A = this chain, B = another copy of it.
Amino acid sequence: MPPIRPTKSILPRDLGTALAALRERAPLVQCLTNIVVANFTANVLLAAGASPAMVDNPAEAESFAGIAGGVLINLGTPYPDTTEAMAAAIRGAEANHTAWVLDPVAVGALRWRTSLAHQFLRGHQPSIVRGNASEILALAGGAGGKGVESLASVEQAHGAAATLAAAHHTVVAVSGAVDYLTDGTRSVRIANGHLYLTRITGSGCALGGLMAGFAAVVDDALCAAAAATATLTVAADIAAKRARGPGSFAVALLDSLCDLTPGALVDTVCLP
């Protein structure tokens, strides 16, 4: 495998263009996600300019994935009926060339969802896989984490991310203090964000939803994943300045997502 180098093909202005496109087109994002973060994910998508729809039942998931601009499959609280819906949504997405994102929450730490994630990947091709370092390591065949938190650093998952991306022709996004995103050939690092993102539930899950939204309006999935990451983490930088703690941070994050202009995103994003 050739070495993967930081790309200069994704520039701050591409992320600004992506955010402008999200606002312009307000893509319909079908979220099959967990009971903990469904509300926050919907509010993040609305604040950013997308149009969320949580269609997660087996009877409607497949056909709706043909209408949606992007689909999120999040394994946070899987149940027999919702995982059936996830499989159906993936079928519907791939049959209709709808971008879809896999968020393998707590994969590695738990057996059933680990097998579900592998089943959702086998023979399928998500546009983006987003997780923390432990989840990406586990998905690539390594050891798992502790519950929903990562025990590994983002740097430790760079190799696993590249391997996974190449194997599935997908983009892998590893969330952490400095986010790392790769399509197996190119890579991007994004250094925005605030520790408060780890003190509220659902920031990672909402980021997966945003990625599905951006993937609906941007052809280059690496750019879509980077634009989602930059949008959320730059908004978090702004929100943290207004916050007194995690509660007011979550509120301010929605406000700042709504306020964030493409120009401010371009000026503030840090791609080291």
Contact = CB atoms under 8 A, between A and B. Distances in A.
Interface of A: 28, 34-40, 42-43, 46-47, 51-57, 59-60, 63-64, 67-68, 76-82, 106, 109-113, 146-149, 199-202, 243-248, 250-259
A187 to B, nearest CB: 30
A35 B57 contact: no
A121 to B, nearest CB: 19
A54 B76 contact: yes
A37 B39 contact: yes
A254 B253 CA distance: 15
Given A39-B37, A199-B258, A250 B252 contact: no
Contact of A52 (B201, B245, B248, B257): B201
A47 B113 CA distance: 27
Contact of A199 (B47, B148, B149): B47
A251 B64 CA distance: 32
A85 B80 CA distance: 12
Nearest 8 pairs between A and B by C-beta? A245-B255, A247-B254, A53-B147, A42-B201, A59-B112, A247-B251, A245-B258, A36-B38
Nearest to A58: B80
A60 B246 contact: no
Contacts of A80: 57, 81
